[in-house]
Amino acid sequence: MEKKGNILMQRYEIGKMLGQGTFAKVYHARNLKTGQSVAIKIIDKEKIVKVGLMDQIKREISIMRLVKHPNVVQLYEVMASKYKIYFAMEYVKGGELFTKVAKGRLKEDAARKYFQQLIAAVDFCHSRGVYHRDLKPENLLLDEFGNLKVSDFGLSALFESKRQDGLLHTTCGTPAYVAPEVIHKRGYDGEKADIWSCGVILFVLLAGYLPFHDSNIMAMYRKISKGDFKCPHWFPPEVKKLLSRILDPHPSSRITVSKLMENSWVKKGFKRIESFELIDDLDKDGDSPRSILSADDSDAEASNSDANVQVNSKPHCLNAFDIISLSPGFDLSGLFEKDRCNYKGEVWFTTQMPPSIVVSKLEELAVMESFKIKKKDGVVKMQGSKGGRKGQLGINAEIFEVTPTLHVVEVKKSAGDTMEYQKFCDQELRPSLKDIVWSWQGCGKDQEHVN
């Protein structure tokens, strides 16, 4: 399956190898149906299970499906056989930004353009509760048009990874780019840590070298801890001032993304993306990480492929193990308690109405609110027509069958601003569905057995 000219899952013709690591190889490939070039990442399942990395792979899939943005490498599809996991991803053929910087520092306008696109991507990721944690030029790719694409979410964290103190505690990243609070191992804010890394990247783009470089790593860490760096004489005054606010060793006073995007130097010629069409992606096949990476994969790759492309109009059935897996900490009470609420703004409701009635109600709501709507495999996907703070609001509703007369519907934000989503749920969604809902669980006002 991993040699040039071979066909993967009756969908992709595998071409030359683009790179390889300890657990995966990446190949150029061609979609047989559309002719589109893609990158296929082939992961050895046995190896990652042996070293305990399966959860990390699942998290990476979940994160890449959350961050659909023009400046982020897109994950098109996930497939699996008994021994391999396959990521079909956007092929970005311009190479790493690092290669460009390695030839020498960039001109101010070029550096600003890449920094603008980086900040736009990071801001979007943060709006979805995703923290990259390993931002560096090697993980920033360029497409054929010179546009930046953030890649490699293998070390990323989700909002739910925070402990009770509201901070992340896993030390990770590349030493020269990590924030001082990450080094100190006292917990850190993922957003603030990513912003620091963006500042180091901006310095590198304009200077051609690292701000805290030292051959002795402990000496480098001391410089990072103190925010001890010096801008070269060719840096514009406004850039020097900006970097002093980004590379602030105190996260509490470090500049935020919103303030960063208001900075006069950053804003110059900045065309912020107000919306990104996600509706085309609704036709993509693929399963959730929970199902595609389960230990019970079938032996034949062909049967996995068939399972991926089948269209099933019926709602997915929930067995006891599915219900447990949907509940945090494997605690069943979490599925039904009043305070169930997480970063994605997921809400659940139970209904005794058939799926057709649920879908009909959602269609009525979509028409009333001028939403685009798509239905597939028991999932109703809606996308708003208005551009909000974080682009168009996207909402997914998935219907699960518990018994023939009882269904659970999961509603969650797939795109857009969280506050706008919560407002929509409280003011539009709940009132529109009150006639069919038996019980609500999730964020916002709880409704107990309203039927």
Specify binding-site residues for ATP. 41
For the chain, state the CA radius of gyration: 23
Identify how many contiguous H helices and E strands the chain contains and give both numbers: 16, 17
Inter-residue contact 251 to 227 (CB < 8 Å): no
CA distance 160 to 165: 12
DSSP assignment, residue 160? G
64 Cβ neighbours under 8 A, 6+ residues apart: 72, 73, 74, 75, 89, 153
417 tagged catalytic = no
Binding residues are: 41
83 Cβ neighbours under 8 A, 6+ residues apart: 44, 45, 46
Inter-residue contact 284 to 377 (CB < 8 Å): no
Inter-residue contact 180 to 170 (CB < 8 Å): no
Q: What are phi and psi of 20, to 5 degrees?
A: -155, 155
**How many CB atoms are closer than 10 A to CB 10?**
12
**How many CB atoms are closer than 10 A to CB 67?**
23
| Catalytic residue selected from 55, 109, 134, 285 | 134
Where in the sequence numbering do the catalytic residues fall? Answer: 134
